Every structure is written in C-alpha cells, then in structure tokens.
Amino acid sequence: MENSYGKDQTLTAKAVSVAALVDYQSGAVVSRTLIDSVGGTVTLFAFDKGQGLSEHTAPFDALVQILDGEATVTISGQTMSVKSGEMIVMPANRPHSVKAVDRFKMMLVMIRNRLD
C-alpha cells in the first residue's frame, strides 16, 4: 500500500506529515527509509498489533520516536511502555527489542559517526 506522498517523490524542502509516510499492513512490519547516508539513517516503521523486532544489538545509539500507537521496548532486560509522542534512546551495543502493544508507528534515527 502506498502513502499519499509516493515512494519515489522527494521529501527535500517540504513540510510533510511524518506518520503519513508509512502505512500499516495487516500482520506485518512495514518500513520506509527516508535518509541512508554514511553519517546515519532515518527510517519509519509501521507495526501491526503483536508484531515486533526480535532482540538484537546495534553499534550506535538509536533514537526511537513513537508517532502513533503504543509499543513495549526492552533494553538489556528492562521493558518499558512507549506511547505516541514519546521517545526512547536505545544505547549502542546493548540488546534491545520492540513489540507492538497496539499497532504503532515509529521513526528510528541512527547516527553512525561517533566523536569519542
């Protein structure tokens, strides 16, 4: 299912509704990469209820902003509820997972460059 902005239409220098850039799909996790560069990525996700991303690690900190709905995020064994309008930072090299309590949309921002 394609959203109203189209998959190939550039988003540069435009004001858009972020949540409208990715659509829910029954029984699935849908993603759309907005930025993919040497310095980092910005990816939108739409999770149907009960869907998730299994536990994994990433070499860089990741910021997750919930755009719609509610999710549980588990970081190093600690589970937290995160709702629309809230965000959470998942620290580098710590196991984490995400699961949809209700269907939800999120924006994942990962900055690859580290100055330390």
In tens, the pLDDT along 71-114 reads 999 999 999 999 999 999 999 999 999 999 999 999 999 988 66
Dump the DSSP string for 9-39. Answer: S--TT----GGGGS---TT-EEEEEEEEETT
User: pTM for this structure?
Assistant: 0.85
Which one, of 90, 87, 81, 36, lies nearest residue 58 by Cα?
90
Q: Band of the pLDDT at 32, cuts 50, 70, 90?
A: very high
Which residues are CB-contacts of 50 (< 8 A; sequence separation ≥ 6)?
99, 100
Which residues are CB-contacts of 85 (< 8 A; sequence separation ≥ 6)?
66
Which one, of 97, 111, 2, 106, lies nearest residue 45 by Cα?
106
**Which string of b and e fits 71-87 if b means at least 16 CB within 10 Å?**
bebbbeeeeeebebeee
The residue among 103 and 38 whose pLDDT is bigger is 103
- Walk me through the domains of the chain, giving residue ranges and CATH numbers: 28-111 (2.60.120.10)
Dump the DSSP string for 31-68. Answer: EEEEEEETTEEEEEEEE-TT-EEEEE--SS-EEEEEEE
